[in-house]
Amino acid sequence: MDRISHLPESIVHHILSFLKKTPAELVRMSVLSKSWFNLTASFPCLDFNIDCFSTRESFFKYVEYTTSRFCHHNLTAHKLLLYTEIQEPAELDVVNRCLELVLKNGVRELVISFTYSSLDFPKYRLPNILLSVSVLESLTILGCDLPSSFMLDAINFKSLIQLELTLVPLNDEVITYLATSCPLLQVLDIGICSGFKKVCVYGHQHLQELRITYDTPLERIDIEAPNLSSLRIEDDDDIGAPQMNLALCKNLTTVSYFGYLSPNLSFTDFVSSFPFVENLYLAIH
């Protein structure tokens, strides 16, 4: 007797979230019965990784079919995780249709991780609707451009707690605007993002962790965040440590620095940037 399918839908979804589900397994579940078809269709964790598929065509067909089925229920997604390499413009069209469908009803955790078959292939630009997803709590972007209306439209990231940007073109103003527009942000991770020379965050009450990795010159880090407790800086190309103003971060007790110290910056001057540090981790070369 199938006892699981008689449980409330939310409980079944919770049980499914602990299973290691491949696309083939979800398809097999969906054909067990009409009840299981509906349960898998409304499962709010959408996890797409091209490495789980034998062909690119089957991957993009599965992404489109699964998101369409889920969005037919008009539900908010708990997760949308999308990992793929982009080789053709038509693949970006599929991605964009599916992403806009899911974002329309909202998503709490969003991971978009794209690589490209050629350096000349233009990066995917995230849709403007992303900026209005007020329930979003965690956002991870790798290898995409920010929405075209980013600095024009208001950002409604009032629930965002964690933000990770890797290989995303940025500038100094975008970083400051992002931090200001995410009042509940606790974790900010900026990794190898071209275009910025300063990281300035002012008057942020909730920021607790800041991680910065750079491979182009970073001139300055200027942070006013009274609850910041952890700072990690990685100089990925032996450029040298930036100037830092962290005097108002009185809870900053853990600092990690991996990289190069230029000859005109003494170790004493470097360490003096962290007046409240208790745990200092260094890998200097």
Tens digits of per-residue pLDDT, 95-137? 999 999 999 999 999 999 999 999 889 999 999 999 999 999 9
Phi-psi region of 167 (alpha: psi -120 to 50; beta: other; left: phi over 0): left
Kindly report, residue by residue over 220-260, the tens digit of the pLDDT.
Answer: 999 999 999 999 999 999 899 999 999 899 999 999 999 99
Q: Which domain covers residue 177, as residue numbers? A: 161-285
pLDDT on residue 128 = 96
DSSP-derived 3-state class of residue 102: helix
The residue with greater pLDDT, 119 or 3, is 119
Q: 23-30 and 34-41 helices cross at what angle (nearest 10)?
A: 140
| Mean pLDDT taken over the chain | 87
pLDDT on residue 31 = 44
Token pair of 154 as six digits: 């208001």
215 within some domain: yes
pLDDT on residue 17 = 57
- The answer to whether 151 touches 128, Cβ cutoff 8 Å, is no
23 within some domain: yes
13 within some domain: yes
Other beta carbons less than 10 A from residue 264's beta carbon: 7
31 within some domain: yes
**Rounded Cα distance, 109 and 100, in Å:** 15
Domain count, the chain: 2
DSSP-derived 3-state class of residue 193: coil
DSSP-derived 3-state class of residue 178: helix
Residue 5 has pLDDT above 60, yes or no: no
The residue with greater pLDDT, 232 or 75, is 232
Helix, strand and coil in the chain, % to nearest 5: 30, 30, 45
* Confidence band, pLDDT 50/70/90 cuts, at residue 174: very high
Least confident of 21-30, 205-214, 249-258: 21-30
Handedness of CA 203, 243, 273, 257 (dihedral sign): positive
Helix (H) or strand (E) holding 211: strand 209-214
Residue 16 has pLDDT above 90, yes or no: no
pLDDT on residue 200 = 96
* Confidence band, pLDDT 50/70/90 cuts, at residue 27: low
247 within some domain: yes
pLDDT on residue 104 = 94
- The answer to whether 108 touches 137, Cβ cutoff 8 Å, is yes
* Confidence band, pLDDT 50/70/90 cuts, at residue 21: low
> What percent of the chain clears pLDDT 70, i.e. is strictly above it?
85
**Rounded Cα distance, 210 and 212, in Å:** 7
Residue 33 has pLDDT above 50, yes or no: no
Q: Measuring CA to CA, which residue among 280, 284, 252, 278 is closest to residue 265?
A: 284
178 within some domain: yes
**Rounded Cα distance, 171 and 196, in Å:** 4
256 within some domain: yes
